[in-house]
Amino acid sequence: MTDLFSVKGKTAVVKGGSRGIGLMIARGLVDAGARVYISSRKAGVCDEVAAELSKHGECFSIPADLGTSEGLDHLATRLAERESSLNILVNNAGATWGAPLEEYPDEAFDKIWAVNVKAIFRLTVKCLPLLRKAAAADDPARVINIGSIDGIRVPYFDNYAYSASKAAVHMLTRHLAHNLNKENITVNAIAPGLFPSKMTNFVFEQFTDEQLGGGIPLGRVGQPDDVAGATIFLASRAGSYLTGAVIPVDGGVSTR
162 is annotated as an active-site residue: yes
Q: Among candidates 19, 11, 17, which has minimal Cα distance to 195?
A: 19
Phi and psi torsions of 187, nearest 5°: -135, 115
HSE toward the beta carbon, residue 172, CA cutoff 13 A: 25
SS3 of 108-159: HHHHHHHHHHHHHHHHHHHHHHHHHHHCECCECEEEEEECCHHHCCCCCCCC
Residue 182 burial (C-beta neighbours within 10 Å; 0-12, 13-18, 19+)? exposed
Contact 62, 72 (CB under 8 A): no
Which candidate in 156, 160, 162, 241 is catalytic?
A: 162
Q: Among candidates 97, 87, 88, which has minimal Cα distance to 67?
A: 97
Secondary structure (3-state) at 252: coil
DSSP string, 27-82: HHHHHTT-EEEEE-S-HHHHHHHHHHHTTTSEEEE----TTSHHHHHHHHHHHHHH
Contact 223, 23 (CB under 8 A): no
Q: What distance, in Å, lies between the first and last C-alpha atoms of the chain?
A: 34
Q: Among candidates 56, 60, 62, which has minimal Cα distance to 28?
A: 56
**Active-site residue numbers?**
162
